[in-house]
Amino acid sequence: MGKRSRQRKKEHQKNSKPAGYADIVKENKLFETYYKELGLVPDGEFDQFMESMREPLPATIRITGYKSHAKEILHCLKNKYFKEIQEVEIDGQKIEAPQPLSWYPDELAWHTNMSRKILRKSPLLEKFHQFLVSETESGNISRQEAVSMIPPLLMKIEPHHKILDMCAAPGSKTAQLIEMLHADMDIPFPEGFVIANDVDNKRCYLLVHQAKRLNSPCIMVVNHDASCIPRLQIDSPDGGKDTLFYDRILCDVPCSGDGTMRKNIDVWKKWTTSNSLHLHGLQIRIAVRGVEQLAVGGRMVYSTCSLNPIEDEAVIATLLEKSEGALELADTSAELPGLKWLPGVSKWKLMTKEGQWYNDWSEVPANRHTQIRPTMFPPTDAEKLAGMKLERCMRILPHHQNTGGFFVAVLVKKAPMPWNRRHPKVCVCTRTHTHLLHKYSMCMVNGGQRSPVVCQPPPNKKMKLHGFKEDPFVFLTADDPVFPPIESFYDLCPDFPKINVLTRTHEGKKRHLYIVSKELRNVMLNNSERMKVINTGVKVLSRNSDGEEFGCAFRLAQEGIYTLFPYIRSRIISISVEDIKVLLTQENPYLSKLEDAAHQQAKQIGMGSIVLRYQPDNSSSDGPQCPIELCGWRGKTSIRAFVPRNERFHYLRMLGVEVFRDKQGQGPGTRDGEEKVDGEEKVEVKVDGEEKVEVKVEVKMEVEEVVNDGEEGVETENGIKDGSIKDELKEVKIEATST
């Protein structure tokens, strides 16, 4: 190709580049016509409803309620960050002071008129944004839409409940369920558990990321189609097998999402009435599968982010009609005081995308019967319709409390489902006639007296798994040789549940040890061929190759310290607030830098993994009023805290230390808010408003890697070779210097 041809090609490519995406116009005439005709919005409020739908959704945050230091985070928010942004103006818009959601308990959920875009891009809000990002990664705060918080609250969860989340990804509601399960932090293993399911294999890993932030041994993530999620078995107390029925089920089904227009702008141009018609059948199938697996006396919460009755009341009415009295709608009117909602409707009609209306099934022409089904209309029997009490459903409109649109209904199961009563599972005999005759002849006893032939059902077929193949989940036995050194080194209590410990490999050295509750262990051992488990358990111990020199090959993992700590009786150092500041702002401080009490304890403990425990002084208001446990390492002359970076910042904030990261050398190639990999990050730390400490965080990706037993390891300053430290700390080196 000649020079001129190449030049013309370059000019053509330059001129053919698109000018960019046009802004989406927030108009949809079909949407307005449909909802205006349905009359779901009260008289005189429709214009306000539409105006609210066009406004961006406010930022909403929720403080993780089960952790004992939730009050400390709330105190930090109210007395520092919220005060700093009260008088801020951005693009002519005054930022309102954040307000607690009136209906959420204990002021643990807040909202402000800041949109996510403003929050991310404004330099004036950078400190607040960094705080949110850091605390979110640590699992202490969740950025979650307000209406999304409603379904878990209506489930009335108690620590002994067995819970199924049928369509769980991305996991914000699942996180709430886990929090409620751990309402009592003094109980490391609640009797209940959460099984979180999603049909999308990739979204399951997003769900895992959300759930793992909470470090619970009572959560299992599985990957199934919710409409045919397998029925599970568990060991019964009498030694037999029982079917697992759930005490609580969250059925947040896929929907058209027209209640999310404020944040999902694409819905404006994509919305048609056909969306609801296509999803209605799937929603019913998922809900039916849910009530089948619900225990008698249990609650199932059905929810959508759609305002359309075809996805809402029509599904509930179908369930109630099919149940023949086995289900009823619970009256939840007094359960969330302060929440504004409208009662469900008992009359609605259907419109096609061409604008054709149908009031009931009898009006639908035959050529439409494949798209429009009888269950999409309200029941024609007035008495039956009144008995359903559809007004107990809750519909949240955006303009009432500046939220998204939402629908939720609470179903209580009073009896087994009628189709289960009428058609119990029967044993299907697939054996040959010859085999049956042989079986019959073998059953003749006592002089020709016949004993009944027991015909067993065929064995269950092994489930076909699709998507990424997970490593196995292998439970250890109580006499596994890995336990004696661990029990001796940490002086574990005799009641430590060793049989609940699992690893992810059948062969070779065990790199990490995880633990689950005994109830989840029961589920996993009885259903290994029925379900596809993506993730479960919390990591409590990680292999440290040089640890054997000190008596134990495993060090403690920060993720599982709150689960494991109640069983640890040695290698615990009590520390003060000042000790925590030293440990979290210096990489390898000398033992002498600890206060005298901690220094004396450290000198009496040999090298190896340790627990650094802070216990609040009830007689003093100084320092955090909640216990803190940190994993660490006692070296020859120094000590180190094994705490991930965001958790370090979290604990420093709890101690009254102001943390602000200022990235240096950020070139134009780095996006706003994105970390540089090989660079230097400066963290300004201000203690009690007086001493200012500049912490330089040097992120090095070129680390010395050593091969040890087939695993990667990192040479640390304490002389430890630990493959997992690189994963947890990302080789972040912190040096504190006074300025």
- 3-state percent breakdown (helix, strand, coil) of the chain, nearest 5: 35, 20, 45
Residue 591 tokens, joined: 């033992």
Q: Is 344 annotated as a binding residue?
A: no
CA dihedral 591, 595, 598, 603 (to 10 degrees): 40
Which residue carries 């985070």 as its tokens? Answer: 73
User: Distance from first CA to last CA of the chain, Å, rounded?
Assistant: 62
Q: Is 331 annotated as a binding residue?
A: no
Q: Is 26 annotated as a binding residue?
A: no
Q: Is 678 annotated as a binding residue?
A: no
Q: Is 255 annotated as a binding residue?
A: no
d(CA 73, CA 648) in angstroms, rounded, equals: 14
Helices (H), 311-432: 313-323, 382-388, 398-401, 418-422
Number of neighbouring beta carbons within 10 Å of residue 579:
24
Residues 53, 26 contacting (CB under 8 angstroms): yes
- HSE-CB at 632 with a 13 A cutoff on CA atoms is 33
Q: Is 76 a catalytic residue?
A: no
DSSP 287-300: HHHHHHTEEEEEEE
Q: Is 198 annotated as a binding residue?
A: yes
Residue 89 tokens, joined: 């103006």
Closest CA to 379 of 390, 395, 369, 366: 390
Q: Is 235 annotated as a binding residue?
A: no
The size of the chain, in residues, is 739
Look at phi and psi of residue 297 and say left if phi exceeds 0, alpha if psi is from -120 to 50, else beta: left
Q: Is 266 annotated as a binding residue?
A: no
Q: Is 636 annotated as a binding residue?
A: no
Look at phi and psi of residue 222 and say left if phi exceeds 0, alpha if psi is from -120 to 50, else beta: beta
Residues 341, 150 contacting (CB under 8 angstroms): no
Catalytic residue among 251, 255, 305, 631: 305
Beta-bridged to residue 74, according to DSSP, are none
Residue 513 tokens, joined: 């040890």
Which residue carries 């040999």 as its tokens? Answer: 606
Q: Is 713 annotated as a binding residue?
A: no
Residues 663, 675 contacting (CB under 8 angstroms): yes
Rg of the chain in Å (alpha carbons)? 30
E strand segments, 359-405? 394-396
Closest CA to 196 of 222, 228, 231, 234: 222
Which residues make up each annotated binding site? 167-173, 198, 225, 252
Which residues make up each annotated binding site for S-adenosyl-L-methionine? 167-173, 198, 225, 252
Residues with catalytic function: 305
